Amino acid sequence: MPLDRSHIVKSYEQELGQLRSMMARMGGIVENQVALALSAIADRNEEAADAAARQDPEVDELEREVEALAIRLLALRSPMAGDLREIVAALKITGDLERIGDYAASIARRSLKIRMMEGQISLSGLRSMGRLVQDNLRRSIDAITQQDSHRAMEVWHSDRAVDEYYTALFRELVTYMIEDARNIRTCTELLFIAKNLERIGDHATNIAERVFYAVTGENLPALRPRGGSAATATTEISPTTSSQEPDVR
């Protein structure tokens, strides 16, 4: 009987380890997608844009595999306490990672549509925002793999800076459009890209909140630190969709 119990515990730990490994792999792919998408913008890199979009089906498949394993663990292993929180968090985190992958693919596709004269429209603000979002995503994924509540808190607090970047970039791009109507098409694409980056930041913060709960058993405050007037900026351009996720097709 003790041998049987030992085998069950070992098998359970192996399945938990497999779940963690799959989550880390999914996070790594999504992180790479975002890096490729940002390279597509900053370097006019069409190969990077194509590569980011091609990785999307792999992320979708991993999401299905993680969900199937998590449901199996819940149904057959009856996990308790921290293990239960971790498995439930994994079900939600995969959804966040999948959405981040969608946004990265959308950014990559939109980057191919941008046509501008060198120096006509500055991309420095977009690059800075992209670096911050990428850093927050990396830290949120590290928080998953290391079960690090402190790193999760860092990401949660950094969401304010992402909002401030988005608001400043929104105003800058609107100014470009007002100054020269020929900028409207390019700036519209850049606005969608900026909004997608802002949403990636939101999903990275979602992940951080879920990791914090899984590790500590406590919820972070429902009201996140907010910066600038990101919601207001979105409303100014599209009042009917400000509370919805943008089109990522």
Q: Find out whether 218 and 159 touch, Cβ atoms under 8 Å.
A: no
Residues with Cβ within 8 Å of residue 96, at least 6 apart in sequence: 203, 204, 206, 207, 210
Q: pLDDT at residue 50 above 60?
A: yes
- Helix orientation angle between 81-111 and 56-77, rounded to the nearest 10 degrees: 170
Sign (positive or negative) of CA dihedral 97, 102, 107, 112: positive
Model confidence band, residue 237 (pLDDT cutoffs 50, 70, 90): very low
Q: What are the pLDDT digits (tens) for 53-93?
A: 999 999 999 999 999 999 999 988 888 888 999 999 999 99
Residue with tokens 């069950």: 8
In this prediction, residue 193 carries a pLDDT of 95
Q: How far apart, in whole angstroms, are the C-alpha atoms of residue 132 and residue 155?
A: 10
Closest to 50 (Cα-Cα) out of 88, 128, 105: 105
In this prediction, residue 9 carries a pLDDT of 63
| Average pLDDT over all residues of the chain | 85
Q: What are the pLDDT digits (tens) for 23-43?
A: 999 999 999 999 999 999 888
Q: pLDDT at residue 118 above 70?
A: no
Q: What are the pLDDT digits (tens) for 153-174?
A: 999 999 999 999 999 999 999 9
Closest to 111 (Cα-Cα) out of 51, 42, 41, 56: 41
In this prediction, residue 41 carries a pLDDT of 87
Q: Find out whether 178 and 114 touch, Cβ atoms under 8 Å.
A: no
Q: pLDDT at residue 108 above 70?
A: yes
Model confidence band, residue 221 (pLDDT cutoffs 50, 70, 90): confident
Q: How far apart, in whole angstroms, are the C-alpha atoms of residue 133 and residue 169?
A: 14
- In the structure encoding, which two tokens stand for residue 48, read together? 């990077």
Q: Find out whether 155 and 139 touch, Cβ atoms under 8 Å.
A: yes
